[in-house]
């Protein structure tokens, strides 16, 4: 009798355990899981008699966004609500183009949703800007099919390249006199449309095996063919690296992936890795390798007026593979970024009236600290307002702070030098520094 009861109880316990596992799995999926986002491309939009295309796009978009308000999808993909700021028709005809500006209120804060909607986060909301390319259906009248979804930067880039302005700009840039290289131990030069690096002050040169236009191209139409963007490269005996990509490719009618070409043996061999295919319209990018294996790339992209999205990517295997690491502390235009240790990084922005600071520090990307530098007054002025990225000199951490773009104190060249004894949390003034006139070769 007791034996039969045990078997019955045992079966009940097993069944109860299975139910518990299913419940835990469901809870885990709800809070931690993801499901593929519904792809707008291929969606048909029917324009009924008496309606217009823009109004029917509004109906479709409302239905699309309501899918993310559902409690049936994982919580980190849910939104509490959204607000459409504007619908703008950019082109009409058989192949219309419509822009939608909107904000999203995520149910829980997470970077995956920000990246998925290709927006930027500010004050708990995700700001998004979608451009829909549509094509009139051949098979069915008054029906349009969404063929592409992108950003305004992509649309503007296509107009730029197709308008003839590209040829004009490239002609002017192509014949700009090449700038002589800076005479430092580790340097680069652009000569005859090729990039070279030197590890001995310019006595010997090694070619970087990449097409120059691919290396220098940016998405705002201001590619420079005679110099590299400051901070987008690193030249040292143990690691040489150049970040490129994220710009519009006219032949492929899309944005190229953000990539890194690097060498660990002073240019004897080179490798190329993909950092991300998710960023488009990259304006500036910064690379730093505080160790030979740990490195960071910070990219600013999708500029809209004075705002832009920014993303941090990290490698722990010397640049072979990269993962999304997080976002930056602000969405105003990024001035400079870099990591000085495996976990500690700094970000600088232009001066914005009303902002407490334009200088930020992060420890492992989880917390951003506002850094307020001592105010240095000279001759009744406070000209030193633009921090650069800190650097180590004889194992001491220093920071150079330059003048703002409109300042001309002492010709605008004088800088203030600061020192930190706590890895950049606090700073003390050291001296004024006037950078020497750069020697060129």
Give the tens place of pLDDT for each residue, 232-262.
Answer: 999 999 999 999 999 988 777 788 999 999 9
> Is-contact 284 218, C-beta < 8 A?
yes
Indicate the residue among 150, 171, 202 that finishes a domain: 150
The model carries a pTM of 0.69
Residue 177, pLDDT score: 56
**Residues of the domain holding 98:** 44-150
In a domain, 244, yes or no: yes
Q: Which helix (H) or strand (E) holds 314?
A: strand 307-315
10 forms beta bridges with none
pLDDT at residue number 6: 41
Q: Which two tokens stand for residue 25?
A: 């799995």
- Can you spell out the DSSP letters for 33-60? ---PPPP-TT-EEE--TT--HHHHHHHH
Stretches in the chain below the pLDDT threshold 50: 1-7, 12-17, 19-32, 171, 175, 438-441
The answer to whether residues 61 and 124 belong to one domain is: yes
Residue 143 domain flag: yes
- At 207, give phi and psi (nearest 5°): -75, 135
Tokens of 105: 């209120």
Same domain, 128 and 227: no
CATH number at residue 56: 3.10.450
Spacing of C-alpha 255 from chain mean position: 13
181, 226 Cβ separation under 8 angstroms: no
CB 190 within 8 A of CB 226: yes
Same domain, yes or no: 95 and 233? no
Residue 170 lies in a domain: no
Measured CA to CA, the distance from residue 321 to residue 316 in angstroms comes to 8
Q: What is the pLDDT of residue 440?
A: 47
For residues 334 and 214, state if they share a domain: yes
- 327/248 same-domain check: yes
Residue among 165, 151, 163, 164 at smallest CA distance from 90: 151
List b or e across 304-336, with b for residues whose CB sees 16 or more CB atoms inside 10 angstroms. beeebbbbbbbbeebbeebebbebbbbbbbbbb
Number of independent structural domains in the chain: 2
Tell me whether residue 425 is in a domain: no
Q: Residue 273 is inside which H or E element, if any?
A: strand 271-276
Query: Which residue from 345, 295, 286, 337 is spatially nearest to 320, judged by alpha carbons?
Result: 295
**Final residue before a domain boundary, out of 134, 150, 166:** 150
Give 101: exposed, middle or buried? Use CB within 10 Å, 0-12, 13-18, 19+: middle
In the block, tokens 């596992």 appear at: 21
Residue 275 and residue 221 share a domain: yes
Element (H, E) at 403: strand 396-403
**pLDDT computed for residue 22 by the predictor:** 47
Q: Check whether residue 120 and residue 232 sit in a common domain.
A: no
- C-alpha–C-alpha distance, residues 206 and 227, integer Å: 17
User: Does residue 210 share a domain with residue 146?
Assistant: no
Alpha helix (H) residue ranges in 33-162: 53-66, 111-116, 152-162
Is residue 219 assigned to a domain? yes
Classify residue 379: in a domain, yes or no. no
Find, among 220, 240, 234, 242, the residue nearest to 157 by Cα. Answer: 220
pLDDT at 11: 52
> Strand 187-191 relative to strand 359-363: parallel, antiparallel, unpaired?
unpaired
Query: What pLDDT sits at residue 81?
Result: 92
- Tokens 């773009």 correspond to 405
Determine the pLDDT at residue 338: 97
- Look at residue 112 in the predicted model and tell me its pLDDT: 77
Q: Which domain-ending residue is among 339, 355, 378?
A: 339
Residues 330 and 206 placed together within one structural domain of the fold: yes
Q: For residue 17, give the 3-state DSSP assignment.
A: helix
Residues paired with 392 in a beta bridge: 397
108 and 194 both lie in a single domain:
no
* 197 shares a domain with 123: no
Burial class (CB in 10 A: 0-12, 13-18, 19+), 349: buried
């Amino acid at each position: 009798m007791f034996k039969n009861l045990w078997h019955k109880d045992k079966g009940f316990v097993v069944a109860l355990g299975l139910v518990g596992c299913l419940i835990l799995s469901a809870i885990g999926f709800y809070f931690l899981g993801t499901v593929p986002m519904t792809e707008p491309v291929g969606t048909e939009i029917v324009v009924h008699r008496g309606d217009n295309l823009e109004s029917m796009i509004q109906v479709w978009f409302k239905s699309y966004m309501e899918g993310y308000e559902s409690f049936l999808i994982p919580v980190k993909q849910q939104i509490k609500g959204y607000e459409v700021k504007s619908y703008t028709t950019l082109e009409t005809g058989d192949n219309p183009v419509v822009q939608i500006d909107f904000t999203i209120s995520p149910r829980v804060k997470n970077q995956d949703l920000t990246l998925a909607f290709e927006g930027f986060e500010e004050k708990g909301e995700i700001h998004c800007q979608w451009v829909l390319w549509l094509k009139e259906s051949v098979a069915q009248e008054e029906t349009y099919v969404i063929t592409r979804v992108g950003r305004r930067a992509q649309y503007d880039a296509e107009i730029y390249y197709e308008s003839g302005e590209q040829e004009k700009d490239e002609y002017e840039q192509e014949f700009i006199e090449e700038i002589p290289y800076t005479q430092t131990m580790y340097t680069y030069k652009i000569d005859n449309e090729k990039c070279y690096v030197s590890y001995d002050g310019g006595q010997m040169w090694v070619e970087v095996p990449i097409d120059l236009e691919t290396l220098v191209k940016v998405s705002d139409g201001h590619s420079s063919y005679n110099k590299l963007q400051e901070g987008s490269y690193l030249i040292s005996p143990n690691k040489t690296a150049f970040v490129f990509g994220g710009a519009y490719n006219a032949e492929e009618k899309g944005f190229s992936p953000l990539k890194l070409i690097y060498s660990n043996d002073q240019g004897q061999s080179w490798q190329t890795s993909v950092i991300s295919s998710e960023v488009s319209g990259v304006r500036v990018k910064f690379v730093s390798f505080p160790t030979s294996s740990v490195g960071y790339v910070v990219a600013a992209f999708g500029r809209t007026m004075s705002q832009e999205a920014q993303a941090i990517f990290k490698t722990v295997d010397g640049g072979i593979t990269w993962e999304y690491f997080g976002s930056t502390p602000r969405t105003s235009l990024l001035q400079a970024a870099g990591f000085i240790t495996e976990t500690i990084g700094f970000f600088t922005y232009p001066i914005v009236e009303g902002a407490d600071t334009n200088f930020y520090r992060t420890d492992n990307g989880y917390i951003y600290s506002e850094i307020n530098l001592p105010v240095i007054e000279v001759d009744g002025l406070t000209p030193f307002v633009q921090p650069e990225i800190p650097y180590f000199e004889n194992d001491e951490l220093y920071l150079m702070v330059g003048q703002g773009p409109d300042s001309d104190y002492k010709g605008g060249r004088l800088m203030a030098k600061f020192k930190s004894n706590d890895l950049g949390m606090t700073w003390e003034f050291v001296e004024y520094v006037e950078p020497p006139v750069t020697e060129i070769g």
